[in-house]
Amino acid sequence: MSVKTEILKLKEELPSNVKLVAVSKFHPLDAVKEAYEAGQRVFGESRPQELYSKVVEIQSSPDYSKGTYADIEWHFIGHLQTNKLKFVLPYVTMVESVDSLKLLEAIDNWSAAAGKVTDVLLEYHIAAEDTKQGFDAGQIKEILLSGRHYPNVRIRGLMGMATFTDDEDIIRADFSRLVGLKSELDKCKTISPVPANLTSDFDTLSFGMTHDYRIAVEMGADIVRIGTMIFGERDYSK
Ligand SMILES: *Cc1c(COP(=O)(O)O)cnc(C)c1O
């Protein structure tokens, strides 16, 4: 199957209100270009240096000056160290993987200095494995309801990754924690005064990858992040 075929298949399958992030990490820029030609515009990367290299490479391609690729939207979806912000924040429309207070504060500070507001999702640790990053539910509520205000960050919603398993019940249970927390927080939007970090812009749930995106769509994902199905297996030795 080609990248193009997979993109077209997904576009047909996904409801129009679900945003597809094509996860291009560990794949060359040519793969991004191929997906772009099939109409894909949103790409996900998880390593700062790799994202940065792809952006630089694409901006120096001859087609770029003619306007091609200028409408690509990059989402950062991996663990982000605070000393790597400059490789990421100028180029992305969203950081989906904010997994610590320290990172949230650093993004806020960087964005203030750059005179912009950065869209982020808070990563909610829903999986059984403790290798996956993220906040617990209490920390997320604290940030959104009683934490300090982050004026240069717009918290758009939550991101999560289910346990890596073929057991659909476990995946569903993980995803329901995410959906449940989102709806609990949605109810808090009517609190008066409205909590500063919880605005009407808090409207996005990002969950679902190659092996579980169908369940995610069924359960109400706004964003799905799909890599392997589109681009094939990743070679982690690269
Ligand atoms: C790599 C990655 C994906 C894509 O996973 P696939 O199984 O290849 O679809 C999605 N989300 C995050 C956070 C990732 O790191």
d(CA 209, ligand 1 centre) in Å: 6
194 has pLDDT over 90: no
pLDDT at res. 130? 76
pLDDT at res. 24? 98
Count CB atoms within 10 A of the CB of residue 91: 19
Q: What is the pLDDT of the chain when averaged over all its residues?
A: 95
- Go through 171-186 and write b for each residue having 16 or more CB atoms within 10 A of its CB, e for each that does not: bbebbebbbebbeebe
Task: Give pLDDT tens digits for 115-134.
Answer: 999 999 999 999 988 777 89
Task: Give pLDDT tens digits for 153-187.
Answer: 999 999 999 999 999 999 999 999 999 999 999 99
237 has pLDDT over 90: no
Check if 134 has its Cβ closer than 6 Å to any atom of ligand 1. Answer: no
Please give the backbone phi and psi of residue 97, each rounded to the nearest 5 degrees, phi first.
-120, 45
pLDDT at res. 175? 98
pLDDT at res. 112? 98
User: Which atom belonging to ligand 1 lies closest to the Cα atom of 211?
Assistant: 7
Check if 227 has its Cβ closer than 6 Å to any atom of ligand 1. Answer: yes
Sign of the four-CA dihedral 233, 122, 185, 137 = positive
Can you give the pTM of this predicted structure? 0.97
d(CA 19, ligand 1 centre) in Å: 15
Nearest CA to ligand 1 atom 11: 225
What radius of gyration do the chain's Cα atoms show?
18
pLDDT at res. 77? 98
pLDDT at res. 146? 84
